[in-house]
Amino acid sequence: MELKGTFLITKWQETVEQQFEKGQKFSTALVQQAYSGDINGNSEVRYQLYYSEDGDALFNGFETITYDKNDEQVVLTLKHDGKFESGVASSEFTIVDSSHECSLIGKSGIFRSIEGGNAIYQIS
């Protein structure tokens, strides 16, 4: 099974936790997103980010995606490992839990940002 589509960041709330002398920083972000495509729903992500002095970042975190399928609410939990380089965010992720679609647990995927706060995703 392969799932594809896009998502849009609808809210990004970031807090700097620690700032370093040359501009590097650690921060946390709480992000809300709206999914479309093979998954139509909403998600909430909690990221931990490390920004280098040039503004690029490494991040990890957990995301819960909530959507309806066959009149049931499905909740997926994803574990992310990503980066932000040259203005483009990308992540590799693994589905670590699913409330109703156990066949998705262990599946991996990717996302890559595109214009306007949007990103494309693919799960296989």
> What is the predicted pLDDT for the residue at 9?
95
> What is the predicted pLDDT for the residue at 109?
97
Q: What does the pLDDT average to over 27-45?
A: 97
Give yes or no for residue 22 having a pLDDT over 80: yes
Helix (H/G/I), strand (E/B), else coil: 117: helix
Q: What does the pLDDT average to over 58-74?
A: 95
Extents of the domains making up the chain: 3-123
- What confidence tens digit (pLDDT) does each residue in 83-100 have? 999 999 999 999 999 998
Structure tokens at 85: 């380089």
Contact criterion met (CB below 8 Å) for 112 and 119: yes
Top CATH class, 3-123: mainly beta
> What is the predicted pLDDT for the residue at 117?
85
Nearest 10 degrees: Cα torsion 25, 27, 32, 33: 40
Query: Model's pTM, two decimal places?
Result: 0.93
Average pLDDT, the chain: 95
> What is the predicted pLDDT for the residue at 108?
98
- Residues 96, 102: Cα–Cα separation, whole Å: 10
> What is the predicted pLDDT for the residue at 91?
98
